[in-house]
Amino acid sequence: MREWSGDTVTGLTSHAADIRDAKRILEVVRDARPEWVVLAAAYTDVDGCEGNPELAFAVNRDGAVNVATAAKNVGARLIFLSSDYVFDGKKTIPYEIGDARNPQSVYGRTKAEAEIKLLELMPDCCIARTSWLFGIGGKSFPDTILKLAAGRPTLDVVNDQRGCPTYADDLARAIVQLCRYDAGGIVHVTNAGDCTWFEFAQEIVTSSGRETTVRPVGSQQMARPAPRPAYSVLSSASLRALGIEMPSWRDALRRYLEQRERLTSST
C-alpha cells in the first residue's frame, strides 16, 4: 500500500475481509470492481501450520480459491503470493518456474495446492513465488538477530539452509510492476543473490556495527517442528524475462537497516 502510487488502491485487513468467508470476499470484490486483486493474505507461521493443518489449508488453499473465484466473477486479474516452500530443497542449482513441486511441510503443501487450484480456475493468474521475506513492521529475521545481538555475546545460526533473502519493499515494487505489465503464469520474485541463514546473520551483525560473534550450526542442532528446504534458491530468469530487475539482498539489507535506524531514532 505504501509503495503503490498512480492508481486507486484499496487495502483490506482480515477483519474487513476474512478470506475464509467466500460470501464476504465476493461482496467486497464486487463493491470495488478492481482490475487486479493482489492476494498477500496468508497463514505464514510455518511451524504453526505444522501443528494446525486445518487452519493452514482453510486460509492458504481454500481462502485463495475464494479470492480467485471472486476475482473471476468480476473479471479481475489475480496475483497470488506463493513460496519457495513448494519445493523439496534437494536441488543444488536455482529452482526454475517449471520445476516440480514437492513440498515437505504443511505450509508448503498449502501453497502448492493453492497454486494448482488457482491455475485451474484462472489460467491467466500470476503466481509470484518469493522467499525469506524481511521488512519493517512485522516479525523478520534481521530484527530478531539484532534484538538477540543486543544482549548476547554469541549467536548460533543455521548454516545448511540456503535461499534468497527478500526485502518486502522491493517485493512490493515488483508486484506493482507485474500488475502493470499484465503478467501471467508463475514468476520467481526475490532479491538477487543467495546465502545461508548464518551468512545472512553475519552480514546483519557486521553491517549494524555489533560485536556479537555468529557461529554456524547444523539444522539438527536447531530442530524445528516443520522441515525446511536445505536449498530453495529461486531463479530470477522468469522475472528478468519481464524486464524486472531486483537489487541484491545485501543492498536490500542496507536499506532495511537504514530505515530501521530512522524509525528507532524517531521513537
CB 161 within 8 A of CB 105: no
Identify the sign of the CA torsion 20, 135, 190, 199: negative
How far, in Å, CA of 234 to CA of 186, rounded? 12
Q: One of 85, 107, 167, 256 is an active-site residue; which one?
A: 107
Residue 200 host element (H or E): helix 197-207
CB 252 within 8 A of CB 202: no
Q: Is 95 a catalytic residue?
A: no
* φ and ψ at residue 265, rounded to 5 degrees: -70, -30
- Contacts with 151 (C-beta within 8 Å, 6 or more apart), sequence order: none
CB 194 within 8 A of CB 234: no
Which spans in the chain are helix H?
A: 22-32, 46-51, 53-57, 64-74, 106-121, 141-149, 168-180, 197-207, 237-240, 249-265
How far, in Å, CA of 100 to CA of 123, rounded? 18
- Catalytically active residues are 107
